[in-house]
Amino acid sequence: MAQAVRWGILGAAKFARDQMAPAIHAAKGAELAALATGSADKAAAFQAFCPSLRLHDSYEALLADPSIDAVYIPLPNHLHVPWTEKALEAGKHVLCEKPVAMSADEIDTLINLRDATGLLAAEAYMIVHHPQWIRAREMVQTGAIGELVQVDGVFSYDNRADPGNIRNKPGTGGGGIPDIGVYTYGSARYVTGKEPLEISAHVDWENGVDTYARVTARFAGFHYDAVTSMRMFPRQEMNFHGDAGLVRLTAPFNPGIFGEARIELHQPGLSVKVERFPGVNHYVNQVENFCATVQHGADYPCPLEFSRGTQEMIDRVFAAAGPAV
Map 59-104 to HEC letters: HHHHHCCCCCCEEEECCCHHHHHHHHHHHHHCCCEEEEECCCCCCH
Cβ atoms of residues 258 and 251 within 8 Å: yes
Q: 46 exposed, middle or buried (CB, 10 Å; 0-12, 13-18, 19+)?
A: buried
Low-confidence ranges of the chain (pLDDT < 50): none
Catalytic annotation present for 169? no
Per-residue confidence (pLDDT) for residue 73, from 0 to 100: 98
Per-residue confidence (pLDDT) for residue 94, from 0 to 100: 98
> The whole model's pTM is what?
0.96
Q: What residue spans define the domains of the chain?
A: 5-127, 128-282+311-321
Per-residue confidence (pLDDT) for residue 88, from 0 to 100: 98
Per-residue confidence (pLDDT) for residue 325, from 0 to 100: 77
Q: Is domain 5-127 in CATH 3.40.50.720, yes or no?
A: yes
* DSSP reduced 3-state for 166: helix
Identified catalytic residue from 98, 169, 194, 273: 98
Instruction: Say yes or no: do domains 5-127 and 128-282+311-321 share a fold.
Output: no
Per-residue confidence (pLDDT) for residue 2, from 0 to 100: 78
129 CA to centre of own chain: 10
Fold classification of 128-282+311-321 is Dihydrodipicolinate Reductase; domain 2 (3.30.360)
Per-residue confidence (pLDDT) for residue 274, from 0 to 100: 98
